[in-house]
């Protein structure tokens, strides 16, 4: 087989196997580059809160958490009130810093209040539910967790921890689309996390071979015209 024919044959056979995935790679790549990552992360969904100075007078002393097996203690403001977020050996706990009352696990109203406090959009809450199993869009986070969905075209959703009262994650459809195209980009159709899976490794090296044979083929693809022009001159 002559070289141009060999280049063409290998390129087209490799492409036959990899072309559909190449289209997935480029279209998913285009989406991920075109929509800014800050928008994907949903930074615009939450308000930036200027922290105010804490008043220490009359607060429960952090030393009291020694008996609950605290590994670390954080004093912060939630909904305008001082609270302690305690990371203890049995798990996270939330206390009212003035009365020392245990606030966790937070009930639905407390979760909604916190979600409304953080949310920067104008729509109201559509649905609030306590999830016992974390959904794929927040995998790795501790359960149970409050899921608060807001009105809006992109289904903005905030996740509030019932144990710490903190905002754990923010999601909307642009994030969900990103996660979906990421799945095609890394070819991990189950967990969407393994960037070293064997399918991806094989496919990427085939793509290398396809692009290199394509480059090789370019050497022959432009020559004939130049010759034709020379002949015409």
Among 44, 47, 139, 201, binds other proteins (CB under 8 A): 201
Residues 1-20 close enough to bind other proteins by CB under 8 A = 12, 15-16, 19-20
Residues 203-222 close enough to bind other proteins by CB under 8 A = 204-205, 207-208, 210-212, 214-215, 218, 221-222
Residues 73-112 close enough to bind other proteins by CB under 8 A = 73-77, 89
Q: Which residues contact 178 (CB under 8 A, 6 or more apart)?
A: 31, 32, 35, 40
Quick check: 87 and 76 in contact, CB under 8 A? no
Quick check: 148 and 112 in contact, CB under 8 A? yes
Angle between helices 3-34 and 198-221 (to 10 degrees): 120
Residues 128-187 close enough to bind other proteins by CB under 8 A = 186
The C-alpha atoms of residue 17 and residue 205 are separated, in whole angstroms, by: 12
Helix (H, G, I), strand (E, B) or coil at 177: helix
Token pair for 205: 């090296």
In terms of CB distance, is 63 or 232 closer to other proteins?
A: 63
Among 3, 66, 102, 126, binds other proteins (CB under 8 A): 66
**Cβ count near 186 (within 10 Å):** 19
CB 32, min distance to other proteins, A:
7
Element (H, E) at 78: strand 70-78
Alpha helix positions (H), 35-119 = 37-40, 108-118
CB 16, min distance to other proteins, A:
6
In terms of CB distance, is 168 or 200 closer to other proteins?
A: 200
Any contact of residue 227 with other proteins (CB under 8 A)? no
Interacting residues toward other proteins by CB under 8 A: 12, 15-16, 19-20, 22-23, 25-27, 29-30, 32-37, 51-54, 56, 59, 61-63, 65-67, 69-77, 89, 186, 194-197, 200-201, 204-205, 207-208, 210-212, 214-215, 218, 221-222
């Amino acid at each position: 087989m002559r070289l141009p024919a060999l280049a063409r044959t290998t390129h087209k056979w490799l492409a036959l196997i990899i072309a559909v995935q190449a289209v997935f790679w480029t279209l998913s790549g285009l989406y991920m580059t075109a929509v800014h990552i800050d928008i994907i992360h949903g930074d615009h969904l939450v308000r930036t809160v200027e922290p105010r100075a804490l008043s220490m007078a009359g607060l429960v002393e952090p030393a009291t958490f020694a008996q609950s097996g605290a590994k670390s203690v954080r004093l912060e403001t939630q909904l305008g009130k001082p609270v302690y977020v305690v990371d203890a050996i049995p798990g996270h706990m939330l206390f009212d810093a003035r009365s020392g009352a245990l606030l966790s696990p937070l009930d639905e109203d407390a979760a909604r209040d916190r979600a409304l406090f953080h949310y920067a959009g104008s729509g109201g809450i559509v649905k609030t539910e306590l999830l016992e199993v974390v959904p794929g869009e927040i995998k790795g986070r501790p359960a149970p967790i409050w899921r608060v969905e807001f009105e809006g075209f992109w289904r903005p959703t905030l996740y509030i921890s019932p144990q710490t009262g903190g905002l754990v994650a923010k999601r909307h459809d642009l994030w969900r689309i990103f996660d979906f195209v990421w799945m095609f980009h890394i070819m991990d159709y189950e967990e969407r996390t393994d960037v070293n899976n064997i399918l991806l490794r094989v496919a990427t090296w085939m793509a290398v071979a396809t692009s290199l044979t394509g480059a090789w083929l370019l050497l022959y693809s432009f020559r004939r015209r130049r010759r034709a022009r020379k002949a015409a001159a």
